[in-house]
Amino acid sequence: MSLLKNIKILDLTRFVAGPHCALVLSDLGAEIIKIEKPKKGDDLRIIGPKLSNISLWAAVLNRGKKSLSLDLKSEEGRKIFLKLVKGADVVLENFRPGVMEKLKLDWNILNKVNKKIIMARISGYGQNDSTVSRQAFDATVQAETGYMHISGHDNKPTMIGTVFLDYTTGLNTAIGILAAINSRNLTGKGELIETSLVSSALSLSMGAVPDFFTNKKNFLKNANSDRFSSPSNTYRTKNGYIHIMAGSDDRFHGLVNAMNKKELFTNKIYNTPQKRIKNQKNLDNIVNNWTKKNTIQEVSKKLSKHNVPWGHVKTFGDFLKTKTAKNFITGAKINNKIIKVPKCAIETPKKSVKKKTFVPQVGQDNNKILRSIGYTKKKIDILKKKNII
């Protein structure tokens, strides 16, 4: 039995944060009905490389879901949605604040229809910030929350190379939904939960918030070196780059032994973590002078012998060729074509879970879903002609 068996989620979300949340819950066993715009579907479907006219990114996020195309702006579309709410456990949405209210599908209305419903709302800046209700994307929130000034090596604002705020917000929302399900099991009542990209950004900022208000220190670029320990940086070798983390006393001891420079451990300018941070530049030069005379294989072998954490700096493509990566990749189907996609990051090794591989076309499950709530073939045909589905 899957962990979320018999949990039904109505997914109104687009792009990344919401769909990723729904994907995680789907892989844990929930039934996801992805509700999309008729004909066009989720905007993510047209972004990036495609196979059989389906975006590979959309394929990754939509795997295993059912698709219902529905015009929520129409009165009939709204009625259909509310009928689905009666038998659902969760409604997930990431429209701009105020849109669900305009659609007359806000929390008060959904809760009247189904007292056990859980409503999960994702926004860019929070539901209560009336001054910032515009549409938000990961990159725009990275810009506004300072993350473009903590990434990269030069003074130019630099975006982090993936939509990490979207993914983090998706995970935060999934956690909130699971907590709300647990609460409902105890109280019998539904719950309203809210997440935002801004709150996710703040949650990822280590100690930067209290450091700013207490010490007036800004959270700025630090390139590849660790902010709080040294030596912890990326170093050149004869045949590439390696990242070494050796800031603590025990790991620094291992590093100096690996380099055959034991005297550094008792050197007065390197013999405490605080002194190593203060003399970081000199220490990095010493480490780099050692690594550049050796290959990655030679350096990594010596580091492993002395229990020093290291990572070979690879391209993403190089990593995907490794045995480690292959352990976390599975298959999905676009029509009859197999593609490789990431597995769910949460595994249940002692449970036999049915793999969800199919990527739905827009509205693929219209007939089955509508019939389950009482619509006849004739009524469904009328809905199609009116472009309601």
User: Is the pLDDT reported for residue 118 higher than 80?
Assistant: yes
User: Is the pLDDT reported for residue 304 higher than 70?
Assistant: yes
Task: With CA atoms as reference, report the closest residue to 63 among 342, 384, 377.
Answer: 342
Task: With CA atoms as reference, report the closest residue to 383 among 86, 91, 74.
Answer: 74
The separation between CA 307 and the C-alpha centre of its own chain, rounded to angstroms, equals 31
User: Is the pLDDT reported for residue 374 higher than 90?
Assistant: yes
Q: How many CA atoms lie within 13 A of 123 on its CB side?
A: 17
| pLDDT at position 297 | 98
Q: What is the rounded average pLDDT of the residues 33-46?
A: 95
User: Is the pLDDT reported for residue 131 higher than 90?
Assistant: no
Question: Using CA of residue 348, residue 63, residue 105, residue 175, what is the dihedral sign?
Answer: positive
| Residue 358 DSSP class | B
Domain spans of the chain, in order of start: 8-203+328-385, 232-318
Instruction: Work out the mean pLDDT of the chain and round it to a whole number.
Output: 96
User: Is the pLDDT reported for residue 130 higher than 80?
Assistant: no
| pLDDT at position 355 | 85
| pLDDT at position 119 | 98
Percent of the chain with pLDDT over 70: 99
232-318 folds as formyl-coa transferase, domain 3 (3.30.1540)
pLDDT band, very low/low/confident/very high, at 149 (cuts 50, 70, 90)? very high
User: Is the pLDDT reported for residue 337 higher than 80?
Assistant: yes
User: Is the pLDDT reported for residue 160 higher than 90?
Assistant: yes
Q: What is the rounded average pLDDT of the residues 44-71?
A: 95
Q: Kindly report the CATH number that applies to the domain delimited by 8-203+328-385.
A: 3.40.50.10540
Residues with Cβ within 8 Å of residue 211, at least 6 apart in sequence? 217, 219
DSSP states of 163-217: -HHHHHHHHHHHHHHHHHHHHHHHHS--EEEEEEHHHHHHHTSTTHHHHHHHH--
Percent of the chain with pLDDT over 90: 93
pLDDT band, very low/low/confident/very high, at 1 (cuts 50, 70, 90)? confident
pLDDT band, very low/low/confident/very high, at 132 (cuts 50, 70, 90)? low
User: Is the pLDDT reported for residue 129 higher than 80?
Assistant: no
Cα 276 to Cα 9, 252, 258, 308: the distances in Å are 52, 10, 18, 16
Can you give the length of the chain in residues? 389
Q: What is the rounded average pLDDT of the residues 186-192?
A: 98
The two structure tokens encoding residue 301: 């072998």
The two structure tokens encoding residue 345: 């990051």
Q: How far apart are the C-alpha atoms of 72 and 75, rounded to whole Å?
A: 7
User: Is the pLDDT reported for residue 121 higher than 70?
Assistant: yes
pLDDT in tens, 83-99: 999 999 999 999 999 99
Q: How far apart are the C-alpha atoms of 18 and 11, rounded to whole Å?
A: 8
